[in-house]
Structure 1
């Protein structure tokens, strides 16, 4: 569409840049390659990246699940939540990354409007489950280490309830576009699908849905993570100060600090671009932008299926040891597992005086 020309607004997609046509439907991302939006090399580069995320993300998250099933010692309350995180990540990598690879390879969304709705819903659900799992992990660490509830013991039943909570919240966040509050349409270079934040449409009320996602699915989990990990840092620093002569306590404090920084940065890398871009679009209606940049936030969010398990699983000595043993690379020795368990126990006993 050129500026000043009448526009037909299709029900199932919207391309938020000026196009040289009176009828936007002729350039439907469900029907024709979107070469008018970017070069073929850009699409193929994105296809390669999506394939990488699919292979690595699916492999590492599947291995996490198989290890938890096979090794009884991994079935602790914290590892239940890590397993839940792996399930959410697996949904994102198996659906989002694989669909993205196929669509970028074809240079348009070959699965049609119904496939777009299904992909958008499943990827949003998996992403929300992963996101809320990160907040639950932070909350669990706060309860266990800082002991705000005194002698309250976080049991497996509590962990399972927290996992159910993430799926309920994930459905609350991902289901509305299926029932008319916003809609799932192709985004960026039109080869992956997500909520419609481009148009101001009274029928779909997109702006309120975007604000709901920002507050409910970004601001609240981020605030939870920052609060819980800041309290964890304060508790560890108090313990280190009280035991200034203890080299092990000082080392634990440094390790926890490093862990907190990595975890918070991982969360921000995953979700800040997506949330920020959505808010920018909502507050700058009508302004054109390069759709290649619009694609990057969605790619970052999907790549969380790779770096989330690296941060939360591979940095866990027990998981890393069992994974190496499962793939025949040694490891998995009882000494290392015992050391890890002892370390976790000692840190878990640290609390305010």
Structure 2
């Protein structure tokens, strides 16, 4: 099959001086692998590199296949449980479900095309339009997930820090914040269609994303805009709300210990209050863990973008560019796992709907007190 100006049949295998050798001919570049219709969209930087070992395409394709499977299953479970269990339909869980929806849509828009390209020669074989759709889907749904994580942190901040100020978020306010997350993600993802930057193949050329290799001011200015809006801004929100949460919990615990000491008692809390506080602390810890994972997931990609725009591009090999994007997409897998494992109400719902799922969550013994209050 002819690919561009070279023939892939030359490449693997080809006959060298003493016999059959497996590899690429001398001078064969990454750009020679792609169809002619895609070459105008690919930055000339990638023509400096030979094609990567085909093993990488198969390995990354298999990894992405597993990521897609587990993302769809995990996020689908969260959405299904929310839809069938009324006790899960709280304002806080609206953010969790929106996160699950954006994560599953991100993976649906990404992994079929990526896997197809990995197993179909290791280059973008679906044309320019599909490349733009692929890149736009990753940008829109990925950024919405980022902003939803910030919204989850803000909700926890309202519950734990602003609890006594009536800071709980209503369903209407939660819905408005979710709409704001989608509007924000859309606003950042649309400019490449309007001429400010563009969506192009990246790395090993099996996926598409923003152009972060061109050095003109339009590309660089959008890269800075992207870095600030998609990384710095949500990170600032997350650091603020969770530092406030940790500070509030520590201050509350300190006040209780001092008061107990004055009253010569070991603990001021009743069992119910102690359990409630323990649950709040556990949720805060899980949320902080999610943020830490988010940093590990998205920081490499942010670093690659900034290196491509302002750093030493000689260090930007195809694999260096491709792997951070793959790492970033793992967020759609671990988000539902973290919430399903850690959130008591979701665990109870899992236990009731799928008893075979090996989830063992104790129900809060508050039915009696609730019943008594109702009878009064």
| TM-score interval for Structure 1 and Structure 2 normalised by the shorter chain | 0.7 to 0.9
2:351–2:361 contact (8 Å) kept in structure 1: no
User: What is the distance in 1 between the residues matched to 2:123 and 2:51?
Assistant: 11
More relative contact order, 1 or 2 (CA 8 Å, 6+ apart)? 1
User: What is the distance in 1 between the residues matched to 2:280 and 2:185?
Assistant: 34
2:156–2:284 contact (8 Å) kept in structure 1: no
Number of residue-to-residue matches in the alignment: 319
Say yes or no: does 1:240 pair with 2:267.
Answer: no
Q: TM-score, normalised by structure 2?
A: 0.78
Q: 1:305 aligns with which of 324, 332, 335?
A: 332
Per-residue deviation at 1:156? 0.4
User: What is the distance in 1 between the residues matched to 2:312 and 2:299?
Assistant: 20
Deviations 1:275-310 (A, max 9, x none): 111111111254243211211110011111001222
Deviations 1:187-245 (A, max 9, x none): 1111111100011245xx11111111110111010010011001000111111112233
User: What is the distance in 1 between the residues matched to 2:48 and 2:293?
Assistant: 37
User: What is the distance in 2 between the residues matched to 1:253 and 1:122?
Assistant: 35
Gaps of 5+ in 2: 1-26, 29-35, 258-266, 370-376
- Three-state SS of the structure 1 residue aligned to 2:241 is helix
Any runs of at least 4 consecutive aligned residues in structure 1 with deviations exceeding 6 A, and if so which? 330-334
Deviations 1:5-63 (A, max 9, x none): xxx9954222523448xxxxxxxxxxxxxxx3211111100001100110000111111
Aligned to 2:372: none
1:322–1:332 contact (8 Å) kept in structure 2: no
Gaps of 5+ in 1: 3-7, 21-35, 343-353
Aligned to 2:59: 45
2:144–2:184 contact (8 Å) kept in structure 1: yes
Deviations 1:61-97 (A, max 9, x none): 1111111111111100010011110111011111112
Aligned to 1:114: 129
Per-residue deviation at 1:269? 1.6
Aligned to 1:13: 42
User: What is the distance in 1 between the residues matched to 2:167 and 2:349?
Assistant: 30
- Counterpart mapping for 1:136-215 below 5 A: 136-147=151-162, 150-201=165-216, 205-215=218-228
2:242–2:288 contact (8 Å) kept in structure 1: no
User: What is the distance in 2 between the residues matched to 1:324 and 1:292?
Assistant: 42
1:325–1:331 contact (8 Å) kept in structure 2: no
Over aligned residue pairs, what C-alpha RMSD do you find?
2.8
Say yes or no: does 1:100 pair with 2:129.
Answer: no
- In the superposition, relative to structure 1, how do residues 156 and 254 fare at CA in structure 2: closer, same or farther (>3 Å)? closer
Deviations 1:116-151 (A, max 9, x none): 000100111000110000001111111121118822
- Three-state SS of the structure 2 residue aligned to 1:287 is helix
User: What is the distance in 2 between the residues matched to 1:115 and 1:265?
Assistant: 33
Q: TM-score, normalised by structure 1?
A: 0.82
- Three-state SS of the structure 1 residue aligned to 2:123 is coil
User: What is the distance in 2 between the residues matched to 1:221 and 1:263?
Assistant: 13
User: What is the distance in 1 between the residues matched to 2:250 and 2:132?
Assistant: 48
1:236–1:253 contact (8 Å) kept in structure 2: no
Per-residue deviation at 1:103? 1.4
Say yes or no: does 1:279 pair with 2:306.
Answer: yes
